[in-house]
Each structure stands twice: as structure tokens, then as C-alpha cells.
Amino acid sequence: MNDNRAPDLLCRLKEYAEKDVCPMHMPGHKRTALGGSELPWQLDITEIDGFDNLHAPEGILADGMQLAAELYGSERAFYLINGSTGGILAGIAAAAPPGSRVLMARGCHKSVYNAVELLGLRAAYLLPPADEVFGVAGSVTPQMVEQALEVHWDARLVILTSPTYEGIVSDIASIARVCHTYGVPLLVDEAHGAHLGFSPAFYGGAVKAGADIVIQSLHKTLPSLTQTALAHLSGDLVDPDEMARRLAMFETSSPSYLLMGSIHRCLCLLQERGEELFSAWAARLQLLDERLQGLRHLRVLCHGADSLRSHRGFWGFDPGKVVVSGRTAGLRGPQLMEMLRTRYGIECEMAMGEYVLAMTSPADSEEAILRLCGALLAIDAECTAAPPAAFPALPELPPQVMPAAQARSVGWRTLSLAEASGRVMAESLWAYPPGVPLAVPGEVCTAALVQAVRALEQAGVRVYSDSGSLPDAVRVR
Ligand SMILES: Cc1ncc(COP(=O)(O)O)c(C=O)c1O
């Protein structure tokens, strides 16, 4: 595991634990098992001599971050210990001055919306159309970005997600070129794509494609502990010192060395065995493709009989995602998820509308992949063909009349949907699928929105509000 330029953090923690040093410092467990024997207390330290400082790295952590930058091809990498969430907040704050305009995909993660609210940003939206068969949002295109930048000439940052939760990849190289023509930096939320760019099977990595800021959750698709992530900077449109300052603002001042040790191990694994692991994973997914050719009613996005060519709105796809639709088999996503759980002992990542999402990683054995295939084939054999219902249309984006933070501040009221019509939203409403907000705080609750919420719910689409008071009521002002 050890690399000359980046000494192994976990090994150093272990060596330190064996020394006779009396810990008169945090954490309060003092590396004893007073709190229970299950946890690795011995390795859980704070910034003590020889262990560097996450927010001003110069030693072992700086070496690890340098390794991350070299592996992915960025100019500067930062360890993140509260997931992509902290990196997204910091990246947006570093690139978009408070109150400025940003251009963002409407389906962005809530951390992006939180950044917009916290920084008082003025958001304009990119709206990739939903796929006709699976209902999931498609790729953002360079043309969409160019048109939006022509209209919103004052935009200071473009933000999009690639791959999406369901694995849809956008053409980041072309989008980055468009952004750079306008002198605007591009932030890619690659929370689901830390595994991209190491093998032809998993293509579309945003760092090598030229994005200025890329945020990746190592924990989502690679062997690394939950909460571990990376931020990458490239080019000269974003100031690395400002990024570091913002990270120190959004992340804890007591970072976990266990988490950082896990990040380092994950990077070493990529460096030493990446090629082998990714080609073995790709081979197992090839096997999945072959097995799933046997499905008659269930459809699996870009796997089995389905392929990228059948989806006009997708530029690319991450084969690690297995999105199974029961739409032509008379099954809803949550039903399918429940069948996989109770009958086959398979716990999936999530279900919404008519599909269920199973996530794979290099840590899945061939046996696990075959078990998933076997379960899907067995469920499929019990299904009969069902005519697919059309996806209900989403309403047009409502007009924005005040900043999100102002709309959420004290003074909101909870009213029935009918009474809310014409007022200003004080919370978000999200439709799943396709996982985009129908309205965000500060936008008008139009009559068309009220009608659309009802139509979506009748069609079986879940509409959520932040406060959870739907379907009875919503927060407005
Ligand atoms: C698209 C996307 N971006 C960002 C995040 C936040 O990532 P993390 O959980 O690592 O903070 C998520 C989490 O699910 C996500 O799906």
C-alpha cells in the first residue's frame, strides 16, 4: 500500500497507537474502549504533531491530496470529510460572489439549492428533457448551456450534475469549452462519478474533460468510508486559496483521521490496482448485460436489450448503475424494490415512480451480480405485459419573485394547495421521478403548478415538500 511520495496515513496512525504517548488532548475517548469495544478508537486522533492539518496541509495530508490530483489529472485536489455536500457548498461559494447569477441544472442536488439560498444567488435553470421511456432527466447539452449563457450574460458559474443519480452523463468536454468561451467556470457535481475516467468502460470523467471544479463522493461508488469525498480544481478561473477558505467554513475543524485514512487507502487502491479492478467490474457488468437480454417485460436502462442508442437525450451512461423499470411489466418501483428485498435479500439504493435503482461498484462479486440478474429474471417471468401510461407533463417553471432565503424567513403560513395559488412559495416541491423541483422558495405558486401537483399525484408520481405537509398543505407567504 505504501507509496514513497504519500506515506500511508492508516499505517502511521497504527504505529502511533502503539507508542507510549499520554494523550492530554482531544478526543475525549483518549483512544480507550470506554465507549464500547466495537469501534476503532485507537486510530481516532485529532491534529497532533506529525499528522498535518486538513485546512492548512503541508505534510502527510498534502502528500495524499497531491496523489489525488495526479491520479485524476487536476491541478489541485482537496480531501473532503463531510461528503460532496461540503465541497459543493465551498465550490459554489468560491466561484460565485454573493448575490451573483448562476446557471444550474434544475435537477441539481439540494446542496446546490442550499448554496444558492445561503449566498443569495440568482439562479437561472438548465432543463434537460426527461427520457420518454424511463422518465429520468437526460443530459445537459452544450447548446443548452450556450443559449442560456447568451441570455444570462451575467452568469458567474455554471453548475450541473454528471453522472446523475441514475447514471446519465453529459458531454462535459464540449460544455466546458462553451463555458470557457464566455469566461465562466464550470462546476460539475460528480458525486456519483469518482470511478469515471480510469477505464474505457467508465468514461466521461469531468476533471480530464476540463471542468474547473469537480466534486466527487468516493464513498458512493468506490471502496471508501461514508462521508469521504474529493474536490478538484483546474484552470485559473477559480482561486484555490478562496476554495480552501470556503472549505474551512463549511467543514468541521475537527476532521476524522479515520475518514482521511480511508481516502488515502482508496487512492492507493486506484493507483496500484485500478486497471485490474475496473476491468473486472466491466467484465461483470458485461455478464449482467448478457443475462438481462433474457428479460421480457422489465427494462433495464442501457443494459440488456436496451442501449444508449435508444435514448436520444443521453450523451453517455455510467454502466455501474442498474435502473430497472417495471413500466411495461405493470410494476411500480417501490413494489419492485420490496420484491427484491423480501424474496431475494437484495437491498437496492432507491425506488421512485416505476423504477428501482441498484448501484454496483468494483467491490461487487460476480456472485452478487448474478444474484441480482437471477432475481430480476425470476420476477420478470411472473410479469405480464402492461401498456405503459404516459408520463404526466411537468408544469413550466414558475416566475421567481424573491430570493430563497427571504421567502423561507419567518412569516410564512401553511395553506391548502388551493389557497396557496398566487402566493410565493416558502418551501420546495419536488417531483420523483424525474427528481426535479416543481417550485423552489421565492417562486410563485401558480394555478398551473397547483393543477400539475394534483395531476402528478393522481398519476402516481410522488410530490414532496420540504416540510412534509403535502398533499394537504404547503408553506407560502
Ligand atoms: C447528485 C448528488 N450530489 C451530491 C450529493 C451529496 O453527496 P454526499 O452524500 O457525499 O454529501 C448527492 C447525495 O446523494 C447526490 O446524489
Pairing of strands 213-217, 168-169: unpaired
Does residue 433 have a pLDDT over 90? no
Q: Please tell me the least confidently modeled range out of 48-52, 143-147, 374-378.
A: 48-52
Average pLDDT, the chain: 95
Best substitution site from 79, 192, 252, 263 to test ligand 1's pocket, by max atoms within 8 Å of Cβ? Answer: 192
Q: Is 304 in the pocket of ligand 1 (CB under 6 A)?
A: no
Pairing of strands 213-217, 186-189: parallel
* Dist. CA 427–CA 469, nearest whole Å: 10
The whole model's pTM is what?
0.96
* Dist. CA 293–CA 299, nearest whole Å: 10
CA distances from 172 to 145, 214, 314, 389 (A): 11, 11, 12, 33
Amino acid at 121: L
Q: What is the pLDDT of residue 124?
A: 97
- Ligand 1 atom with the shortest distance to the CA of 220: 10
Domains of the chain: 279-382 (3.90.1150.150), 404-476 (3.90.105.10)
Three-state DSSP class for 149?
helix
* Dist. CA 363–CA 141, nearest whole Å: 32
Q: Which secondary-structure segment (H or E) carries 356?
A: strand 355-359
* Dist. CA 58–CA 168, nearest whole Å: 37
* Dist. CA 369–CA 284, nearest whole Å: 7
Q: Please answer whether residues 344 and 371 qualify as being in contact, where contact means their C-beta atoms are separated by less than 8 angstroms.
A: yes
Which residues have C-beta within 8 Å of that of residue 314, sequence separation ≥ 6?
131, 138, 139, 168, 169, 302, 308
Nearest to 311 by CA among 173, 136, 192: 136
In DSSP terms, 473 is beta-bridged to: 416
| Residue 396 burial (10 A CB sphere; 0-12, 13-18, 19+) | exposed
pLDDT in tens, 168-212: 999 999 999 999 999 999 999 999 999 999 999 999 999 999 999
**448: its cell numbers:** 398551473
| Residue 457 burial (10 A CB sphere; 0-12, 13-18, 19+) | middle
Spacing, Cα 228 to ligand 1 middle (Å): 11
Nearest to 362 by CA among 430, 420, 425, 283: 283
Does residue 467 have a pLDDT over 70? yes
What's the whole-number mean pLDDT along residues 296-300? 97
Q: Please answer whether residues 431 and 462 qualify as being in contact, where contact means their C-beta atoms are separated by less than 8 angstroms.
A: yes
pLDDT band at residue 456 under the 50/70/90 scheme: confident
Does residue 3 have a pLDDT over 70? no
- Ligand 1 atom with the shortest distance to the CA of 87: 11
Q: Is the dihedral of CA 128, 130, 132, 138 positive or negative?
A: positive
* Dist. CA 78–CA 213, nearest whole Å: 11
Q: Is 231 in the pocket of ligand 1 (CB under 6 A)?
A: no
SS3 content of the chain, % helix, strand, coil (to 5): 35, 20, 45
**88: its cell numbers:** 459543493
Q: Is 216 in the pocket of ligand 1 (CB under 6 A)?
A: no
Does residue 94 have a pLDDT over 90? yes
Spacing, Cα 262 to ligand 1 middle (Å): 18
Does residue 298 have a pLDDT over 80? yes
Nearest to 425 by CA among 434, 412, 437: 412
Q: Please answer whether residues 179 and 185 qualify as being in contact, where contact means their C-beta atoms are separated by less than 8 angstroms.
A: yes
Quick count: other Cβ atoms within 10 Å of Cβ 275? 11
Q: Please answer whether residues 361 and 269 qualify as being in contact, where contact means their C-beta atoms are separated by less than 8 angstroms.
A: no
Q: Is 111 in the pocket of ligand 1 (CB under 6 A)?
A: yes
Per the rule left: phi > 0, alpha: psi between -120 and 50, beta: everything else, 165 is alpha
Quick count: other Cβ atoms within 10 Å of Cβ 287? 14
pLDDT in tens, 403-424: 999 999 989 999 999 999 999 9
* Dist. CA 281–CA 297, nearest whole Å: 26
Q: Is 165 in the pocket of ligand 1 (CB under 6 A)?
A: yes
pLDDT band at residue 300 under the 50/70/90 scheme: very high
pLDDT band at residue 4 under the 50/70/90 scheme: low
What's the whole-number mean pLDDT along residues 264-290? 97
pLDDT band at residue 353 under the 50/70/90 scheme: confident
